[in-house]
A and B are shown apart, each in its own frame.
Chain A
Amino acid sequence: MSAPTWLSSVFVAMMLGVAGFCTGRLVVARRTRRPAEVDSDVVHVLMGVAMAGMLIARLRLWPSALWAVVFAGGVAWFGWAALRSAAEPAGAEPAGAALAGHGWRCPQPVPHLLECGAMVYMLLAVPKPGHGMGTSGSGLSVVALGLAAFMVGYVMWLGDRFTAVSSCARTLAPRCGMACKMAMGVTMAYLLVLML
């Protein structure tokens, strides 16, 4: 059983929109020499394109294995960033500045680490996108549920800070960026729910 085409199309439109926005933000930030979360924007461009292909098979650009390697790289990058930020002395990063954006690295690597991990998981668990995504009744469904729950929680956490973010952000279009993160989280949670 597969998802209705119109529903997949809505999510695809969202993902391609996110990929387009993040690409545009990277270009504009580079030209205007403004700070940007380069690593998270790049990974969201890739995720947007990859998830579009997972939702509608004819939009697949690369084989799943190749995408999995790409996102495994993302896991390594954000894993290293998470370790680095954990090793920073307490107080080095102002509490709550996480979403503000202050350089070329995303100040919140853990959600992106899990996003990349979820992509690797979905790509390896679903060799043929759009066909038989379910893993119900297997141990894999527990992993999918856990990751979906995390994504939902992350979306709520972002939404709670949505109003406050623009006043202290230095990155371009911080609210649009946050909305893109929320769209990415919702879509990823949807894909994971399809695996239940």
Chain B
Amino acid sequence: MSESLVVAGGLARAPALDVRVDLRRKLQLALGALWLLDGLLQYQPAMFSKAFPSMLAESAAGNPAPVAAPITWSASFIGHHLTISNGAFATIQVLLGLGIAFRRTVKPALAASVVWALGVWWLGEGLGGVLTGSASPLLGAPGAVLLYAVLAVLLWPSERDVSAAFVAGRAVGASVARVSWAVLWGTMAVLAALPGSVRTLHSGIADMAAGQPGWLAWLDTHAASALSPGGLVFAVLMVVIACGVYPPSVLAVRGVVGLTVALAVVIWLVEGFGGMLTGGSTDPDSGPLLVLLALAYWPVPE
């Protein structure tokens, strides 16, 4: 290749590109990456088939009629306008991801992602199954897409509380952020302890093995046997996590955040990486989002 394109003086140094990327920005970018990945997964050929509206309609099962009826209606509507609906859904998610990537559009993109996520939480995930009595946090409850909305709020680029010792507290204030954490994990603990959730845990995890690569199917099959008797243990663990952002000791909080990340990884394995390796998944499920959420509570030096 010719070197004639080199400017006079050879490999002249360009001025440095100074782009500050703090922990909050890194988490925003990770959130955007998940939206972008969601969009690309939504472009999969399987999503342009009748399997997609059927999957949406299934989320109505077990929900109260006022919740289920709009789900059934929207699934039917999407089934009748499949190509344009799914194309639009995928494109919206790609744009949300790219919007978060560009610094000038991060606020509108995060705001839009909250609206979109809440809509999908209802019409696409049936409110994460929280009203069915059988949704387990080990299988994605209270709904991965709800976590997108929570993260968008907690990672909002404002400085309401500059003294907050963790990223999530900077946008909404440390107290509100701690309460949000406690409510989320407390809800997950309740869901994990519900009799319906405990009863269906084994079959729920075992079902995740379908269509997975051999090693992951083996893992999920064995996890179903190993973890299903421990539904209540997970509930207790989640209570500990729910209270874990309150201790004044930074070391204790870091320990709890580390525990949360470990649990999120276990959950993601149990979820079979959200079924992404099966070619029929719309998102990576709750595991990666729980990791991001935990990191937003990691105590950082002032």
| A residues in contact (CB < 8 Å) with B | 1-4, 6-7, 29-30, 33-36, 38-39, 42, 94-104, 134, 136-139, 141-142, 145, 148-149, 152-153, 155-165, 167-170, 182, 186, 189-190, 193-194, 196
Counting contact residues on chain B (CB < 8 A from A), the size range is 35 or more
Closest to B42 in A: A193
For B16, the chain A residues whose CB sits under 8 A away are 94-97, 100, 168
For B226, the chain A residues whose CB sits under 8 A away are none
Give 7 nearest A-B pairs by CB, closest first. Answer: A159-B101, A100-B14, A136-B279, A96-B17, A168-B15, A94-B16, A1-B45
- Contact partner of A186 (CB less than 8 A), chosen from B5, B13, B36, B273, is B36
Q: What is the 8 Å Cβ interface bit string for chain B, positions 1-43, against chain A (1 contact, 0 not)?
A: 1111111001111111111010001000110110011001101
> A100-B14, A156-B32 are contacts. A141–B49 as well, Cβ < 8 Å?
no
A7 to B15, CA, bound (A): 40
* Contact (Cβ within 8 A) B15 A4: no
- Contact partner of A136 (CB less than 8 A), chosen from B3, B19, B278, is B278
- Contact partner of B14 (CB less than 8 A), chosen from A145, A168, A190, is A168
For A168, the chain B residues whose CB sits under 8 A away are 14-17
* Contact (Cβ within 8 A) A148 B14: no
For A38, the chain B residues whose CB sits under 8 A away are 1-2, 5
* Contact (Cβ within 8 A) A137 B278: yes
* Contact (Cβ within 8 A) A102 B14: yes
* Contact (Cβ within 8 A) B17 A156: no
A186 to B98, CA, bound (A): 10
The distance from the CB of A104 to the nearest CB of chain B, in whole angstroms, is 5
> A96-B16, A136-B278 are contacts. A30–B2 as well, Cβ < 8 Å?
yes
> A96-B19, A97-B15, A164-B18 are contacts. A145–B1 as well, Cβ < 8 Å?
no
Q: A97-B17, A141-B277, A170-B14 are in contact. List 15 more A-B contacts (CB 8 A).
A: A4-B48, A35-B6, A97-B15, A100-B17, A102-B14, A103-B10, A104-B1, A104-B3, A136-B280, A137-B212, A159-B101, A160-B25, A162-B101, A186-B36, A196-B279
For B10, the chain A residues whose CB sits under 8 A away are 103
* Contact (Cβ within 8 A) A156 B277: no
> A145-B273, A157-B29 are contacts. A7–B87 as well, Cβ < 8 Å?
yes
B102 in the interface (beta carbon within 8 A)? yes
The distance from the CB of A172 to the nearest CB of chain B, in whole angstroms, is 10
The distance from the CB of A56 to the nearest CB of chain B, in whole angstroms, is 14
For B83, the chain A residues whose CB sits under 8 A away are 4, 6
* Contact (Cβ within 8 A) A134 B15: no
> A156-B36, A159-B101 are contacts. A193–B43 as well, Cβ < 8 Å?
yes
* Contact (Cβ within 8 A) A162 B102: yes
Closest to A153 in B: B33
> A35-B5, A104-B3 are contacts. A194–B44 as well, Cβ < 8 Å?
yes
The distance from the CB of B43 to the nearest CB of chain A, in whole angstroms, is 6
A6 to B86, CA, bound (A): 13
> A4-B48, A38-B1, A97-B16 are contacts. A155–B101 as well, Cβ < 8 Å?
yes
For B29, the chain A residues whose CB sits under 8 A away are 156-157, 160
For B14, the chain A residues whose CB sits under 8 A away are 94, 97, 100-102, 168-170
The distance from the CB of B157 to the nearest CB of chain A, in whole angstroms, is 13
* Contact (Cβ within 8 A) B7 A34: yes
